[in-house]
Structure 1
Amino acid sequence: MKKRLIGFLVLVPALIMSGIILIEANKKAPVEVLESAWDEFGLFSFQIGKTDPSITIGMDHTKSEAKLREYLEHNLSREAKEKYKIYIFKDDIDKLEKEHREYLKANNPNK
């Protein structure tokens, strides 16, 4: 009886720990998580800092920042959430596209 109890007490924590390790191992890298969120959340830019541990995300002002934060909470690894501070700014994507077209037009050497 004692052997079974000891075996059970050793086996259960080992299974729990291996399950946690497998779940964390299946988490994607921050770049993969952000790329997979690109269309759904209207992202137009992101930057992951190397020296300054931060993730800066630009998103369409019509999309939900709360839903993006929830998505990141569920999909980023625990290590990434502890390492990086996340900054999100919102802007009008149509305005940005117009500014980009004007910039390209003004700086086109083939005029």
Structure 2
Amino acid sequence: MSPTTPYAYSGEPLNDFLRPFWQRRVGATEQEAPDYKHPPLPLARIKKVMSSDPDVKMIAADTPTLFCKACETFISKITARVFIISDSNKRILSPADIAKSKP
């Protein structure tokens, strides 16, 4: 599948979307080399969120990078679900669209 192929199509049934979505995400994760120097989300912010839990004493060096990848996958799944559920003519996704997309 080429990088320009969309994850989802507006109006597509959610069940038809989920299996190919996870196959593409797993395939992309296995093929790409992690960029530790320039992650897509700020690692300092991720560490701050992780440290906000009073039960967390220490954080291993590779944990924020793994958490960053999990957040990236979560964001792409939620965004694709909202796109499928929202109107095809809309250009902006609203918080109400996000609330409607919850499983």
User: TM-score w.r.t. structure 2 length?
Assistant: 0.30
Bigger RCO of structures 1 and 2 (CA < 8 A, at least 6 apart): 2
User: TM-score w.r.t. structure 1 length?
Assistant: 0.28
Structure with larger Rg: 1
Larger strand percent: 1
